[in-house]
Amino acid sequence: MRDRKDSPRLLPGARGVEAPSVCAACGGVCCKNQPGAVFPEDVGFPEEPERLISMLRSGRYAIDWWEGDIDPEGDLDVCYFVRPAARGREGQTRHASWGNDPCTFLTETGCALPFEERPRGCRMLTPGPEGKDCQPREGSTKADACRAWRPYHEELVEIIVQIESGYFQKVPDPGAFLLTRESPYVILKAERGESR
Ligand code: SF4
Ligand code: SF4
């Protein structure tokens, strides 16, 4: 059993668009298709990397990707972004969803997360009349998420590698350990000449 440090928590405070009656009548067509995109500010990244690591380690969140570089001037093979896990894929750190992947947080009565803890991609999806033509607003699409995460590509790669290698299972408190000089995250930033 995981301890409280692994509990997924998004930062509170970010607003969004909520229309409970419209969405209740719809039943979550968007959530049944694909989990919404998490943005760096949702999880306090890069200031609090332990938050994202805990979410990924919980198995309820995954890293998805954009094929190719979202930056037309860039040369990345993929651009990573974060989202809740797809149902049945919990515990899979990387998973590319192409749709028809219901979100792990969708229940019979709606989203299990409080509104302000939902990903920006969910909060900013504006329900259309009668639940049709729902539109993402203010830069909240999957492409926007990939653009937002792109500056942290190396950090995401490092986190994926360390989670999949079981690195964080070797330390009693990954959050605290991330603040030490031995942390792969700190080493990575030091190599790039950045300080925390
Ligand atoms: S945002 Fe649109 S698709 Fe999603 S639950 Fe609400 S009405 Fe349905
Ligand atoms: S987090 Fe909630 S609102 Fe977002 S896709 Fe999942 S169930 Fe839907």
Any atom of ligand 1 within 6 Å of the Cβ of 111: no
Q: Is residue 174 part of a domain?
A: yes
11 within a domain of the structure (yes/no): no
- How many domains does the chain contain in total? 1
CA–centroid distance, 162 to ligand 2, in Å, is 27
Q: Per-block average pLDDT, block size 10, for the chain (196 residues)? A: 43 70 90 97 90 92 97 96 97 94 94 92 89 87 97 92 80 62 65 64
In SS3 terms, the chain reads as CCCHHHCCCCCCCCCCCCCHHHHHHHCCHHHHHCCCCECHHHHCCCCCHHHHHHHHHCCCEEEEEEECCCCCCCCCCEEEEEEECECCCCCCCECCCCCCCCECCEECCEECCCHHHCCHHHHCEECCHHHCCCEECCCCCHHHHHHHHHHHHHHHHHHHHHHHCCHHHHCCCHHHHCCCCCCHHHHHHHHCCCCC
Please identify, by atom number, the ligand 1 atom nearest to the C-alpha of residue 29: 3
Cα 19 to ligand 2 centroid, rounded to whole Å: 14
156: in domain: yes
* Shortest-distance ligand to the CA of residue 27: 1
State the residue range of the domain holding 143: 20-191
- 135 occurs within a structural domain: yes
134 ligand 1 Cβ < 6 A: yes
28 Cα nearest atom in ligand 1: 5
Residue 131: inside a domain, yes or no?
yes
Q: Does a structural domain hold residue 138? A: yes
What pLDDT, on the 0 to 100 scale, is given for residue 39? 96
Q: Is residue 196 part of a domain?
A: no
Residues with CB under 6 A from ligand 2: 28, 31, 35-36, 84, 103, 105-106, 111, 113, 118-119, 122
Predicted confidence at residue 2, as pLDDT, reads 38
Residue 72 within any structural domain of the chain = yes
